[in-house]
Amino acid sequence: MLKKTSKIIVLFLTVVSTAQEVEVVDGLLNPLNLAVHNDDLYICDHSGNNIGQGTISKINLTEENPVVVDLVTGLIYPRAIGLYGNDLYFSNGTISKFDITETNPVVEDIMYVSSTYALIEIDDFLYIAGDNSISKIDLTSSNPSLINVVSLPARPLAFAYRDGLLYFGYGTKVAKIDPTQTNPVPEMVMENLESNIYSLIFYEDKLLIGMSLISKISMVDFSQDPLVLEDFMNTEIGRPTAFAIHNDDLYVAGGIGNNIFKIEDLSMLLSVDEVQPFIALSIYPNPSSENIKILGINRKYTFEILDLNGQLVLKGQRDEAIQNINIDNLSSGLYHIKISDNTSKAHVLKFIKH
């Protein structure tokens, strides 16, 4: 049974900002998990439908154009990685590990675990997100056994750790447990999100939540009471399947986007002083033949549509009640749409009229 906290507000407020996505590497095969050690970012590449082509690789984050270095290859659908000292643990039908300091690392199998979706080390235990459960193994034991921690109504896909508590996402919910308890009871933190939760990470007091299926990142500020769920950004060049933080940048595994990208200057983006009324805007559908709507804006705004010669072809205003912009009378081609309101700088987006 889940314990529920009383002070939770689930509001889809738009909180962000001028966040820019910067592609770091591409050409991967469905990267699903990340881990940072010093200046190296370790990548778990699931390989999608390419059976036997899964890899554990790394890139150096200090390089301007980082090169992917394969460490372990030929894996069958690896899903999760986690660091414990110099050992990198990963799931590949088994829980295995290798020493990241070795030039030619040798993989050591630890134990068979049928399904693993996330890994995290806490106080010498490796916590494992499995099918409808969280379990753990003692990393100090020479012959560890799998210990069940808690059973759940859905499979957990993401972990985060803060102030002695293990947070996890399952389905459209975020819950937490005290991992030091013998039989911990999950306590609900946030529920009824827009889509399944694939990634979690804390940056200071803020929990970032990645919903890969809808390419969206939300945020909960734990310095607030009650807690409020806020939109952070819609991602454009990849799906937020896993997170890692290095310095002040958020690195994101793009999943089926086959890339790793980053969102720079988190401290600026997440500061109250920088809040803007716009999320990272997008147009849907794009291309379109009849109507478009602007996603990521929560107030009245004006728009101007310009053709490639800079000529104004359509203008108007919209709000939450009237979202569709009819473009049926426009000729086929590429257009720019300028979005503005009274409190923010203008945003210019592109769309194609079929």
Cis peptide, bond prior to residue 285, ω within 30 of zero = yes
Distance separating alpha carbons of residues 14 and 280, to the nearest angstrom: 9
Of 110-119, 209-218, 228-237, the poorest mean pLDDT is in 228-237
What is the predicted pLDDT for the residue at 157? 97
What is the predicted pLDDT for the residue at 320? 67
Q: Looking at the predicted structure, is the pLDDT value of residue 326 above 70?
A: yes
- The residue with greater pLDDT, 67 or 350, is 67
Predicted confidence (pLDDT) per residue in 39-84, tens digit: 999 999 998 777 778 999 999 999 999 999 999 999 999 999 999 9
Query: Could you tell me which residues come within 8 angstroms of residue 287 by beta carbon, excluding any fewer than 6 positions away?
Result: 351, 352, 353, 354
Among residues 196, 113, 97, 186, the alpha carbon closest in space to that of 149 is found at: 186
Q: Looking at the predicted structure, is the pLDDT value of residue 245 above 90?
A: yes
Distance separating alpha carbons of residues 254 and 245, to the nearest angstrom: 15
**Identity of residue 230:** E
Q: Is the dihedral angle over the CA atoms 118, 176, 133, 137 positive or is it negative?
A: positive
Q: Looking at the predicted structure, is the pLDDT value of residue 343 above 80?
A: no
The mean of the pLDDT values for the chain is 87
Using pLDDT thresholds of 50, 70 and 90, give the confidence band for residue 328.
very high
What is the predicted pLDDT for the residue at 20? 66
Of 27-31, 211-215, 277-281, the poorest mean pLDDT is in 277-281
On whether the CB atoms of residues 22 and 2 are closer than 8 A, the answer is: no
Using pLDDT thresholds of 50, 70 and 90, give the confidence band for residue 274.
very low
What is the predicted pLDDT for the residue at 130? 95
Among residues 54, 60, 55, the alpha carbon closest in space to that of 37 is found at: 60
Q: Looking at the predicted structure, is the pLDDT value of residue 321 above 50?
A: yes
Of 22-31, 169-178, 265-274, the poorest mean pLDDT is in 265-274
pTM score of the predicted model: 0.75
Percent of the chain having pLDDT more than 90?
62
Question: What beta strand segments (E) does 285-344 contain?
Answer: 291-297, 301-306, 312-318, 325-326, 333-340
What is the predicted pLDDT for the residue at 67? 96
What is the predicted pLDDT for the residue at 97? 97
- For residues 298-310, average pLDDT: 84
Q: Looking at the predicted structure, is the pLDDT value of residue 9 above 50?
A: no
Distance separating alpha carbons of residues 151 and 348, to the nearest angstrom: 48
Using pLDDT thresholds of 50, 70 and 90, give the confidence band for residue 278.
very low
Using pLDDT thresholds of 50, 70 and 90, give the confidence band for residue 26.
very high
For 274, phi then psi, to 5°, come to -100, 5
Distance separating alpha carbons of residues 289 and 113, to the nearest angstrom: 49
Q: Looking at the predicted structure, is the pLDDT value of residue 7 above 80?
A: no
Distance separating alpha carbons of residues 353 and 289, to the nearest angstrom: 5
Locate 5 and state its tokens: 């906290």
Residue 6 half-sphere exposure, CB side, CA atoms within 13 Å? 0
